[in-house]
């Protein structure tokens, strides 16, 4: 006896909804039961994309190319046979467009530091799909656990400059779900800020006192010269 179709299942043949720009993907629409032949129609945001006819209950395979961000919208399919009224609709699918990350930038509010000083380092990739995971390095040694950022914000770590070795070369790396796309930042070095010695401070202080004395003396001259000049007239 003729049998109505079951609701079809729409699944990605590649088993993932994460896609990159210009990627080719295949969607499978399949009703497990019902009387053939079957007509499968694929929709994107309720707009018909394509129709396939199957003489049996084999899946309808729709080949797509992700050319733009609009191609990752909601997809559904419909299955119809000779006795179905209006057809049966599948679940909906949405692709996620994965973009490669850009080279991260490593920076700090200051490039000079003294010993026994707290400093910060920030690492940020301006482009790339979120979330992005950052790791900080000094030389080739990791100095932080992975920091996963769900927003387009810099990952920040706090450092304590305690010895000369802390003035080494720092870097960070960034990666997201885009495969084989780890990017390393620029190198960053702190330089030792010059500290004035006690003798330098004393010399500068004496020089300032002498300068103030000269200025004061120069300002006082008119008060002594002008009265004496008038007295001699």
3-state secondary structure 138-170: ECCEECCCCEEECCCCCEEEEEEECCHHHHCEE
Higher pLDDT pick, 52 / 210: 52
Containing 106, the helix (H) or strand (E) segment is strand 105-107
Residue pair 147/176 in contact (Cβ under 8 Å)? The answer is no
* Ranges 101-110, 164-173, 190-199, most confident: 101-110
- Averaged over 186-211, what is the pLDDT? 73
Q: In the chain, which ranges are continuous DSSP H helix? A: 198-232
Q: Residue 215: what pLDDT?
A: 78
In this structure, of 1-5, 39-43, 70-74, 78-82, the range with the lowest mean pLDDT score is 1-5
Beta bridge partners of 141: 138
State pLDDT tens for residues 94-110: 999 899 999 999 999 98
Q: Residue 177: what pLDDT?
A: 87
* Ranges 11-15, 66-70, 160-164, most confident: 11-15
Domains (range + CATH), the chain: 9-97 (2.60.40.10), 105-192 (2.60.40.10)
Using CA of residue 155, residue 156, residue 157, residue 161, what is the dihedral sign? positive
Beta bridge partners of 28: 11, 61
State pLDDT tens for residues 111-166: 888 888 899 999 999 999 999 999 999 999 999 999 999 999 999 999 998 888 88
DSSP secondary structure letter of residue 34: S
pLDDT classification of 2: cutoffs 50, 70, 90:
confident
Q: What is the mean pLDDT of the chain?
A: 88
- Per cent of the chain over pLDDT 90 is 62
């Amino acid at each position: 006896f003729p049998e109505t179709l079951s609701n079809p299942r729409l699944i990605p043949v590649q088993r993932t909804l994460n896609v990159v720009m210009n990627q080719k993907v295949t969607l499978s629409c399949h009703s497990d039961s019902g009387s053939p032949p079957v007509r499968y129609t694929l929709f994107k945001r309720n707009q018909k994309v394509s129709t396939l006819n199957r003489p049996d209950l084999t899946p309808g395979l729709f080949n797509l190319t992700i050319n733009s961000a609009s191609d990752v919208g909601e997809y559904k399919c419909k299955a119809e046979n000779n006795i179905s009224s209006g057809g049966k609709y599948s679940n909906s699918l949405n692709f996620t467009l994965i973009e490669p990350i850009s080279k991260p930038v490593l920076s700090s509010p200051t490039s000079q530091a003294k010993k026994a000083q707290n400093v910060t380092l920030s690492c940020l990739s301006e482009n790339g799909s979120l979330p992005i995971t950052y790791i900080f390095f000094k030389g080739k040694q990791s100095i932080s656990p992975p920091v996963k950022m769900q927003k387009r914000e810099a990952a920040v770590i706090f450092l304590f400059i305690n010895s000369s070795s802390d003035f080494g070369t720092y870097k960070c790396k960034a990666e997201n779900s885009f495969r084989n796309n780890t990017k390393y930042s620029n190198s960053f070095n702190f330089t030792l800020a010059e500290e004035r010695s006690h003798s330098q401070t004393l010399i500068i202080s004496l020089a300032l006192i002498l300068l103030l004395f000269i200025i004061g003396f120069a300002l006082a001259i008119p008060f002594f010269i002008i009265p004496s000049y008038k007295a001699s007239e």
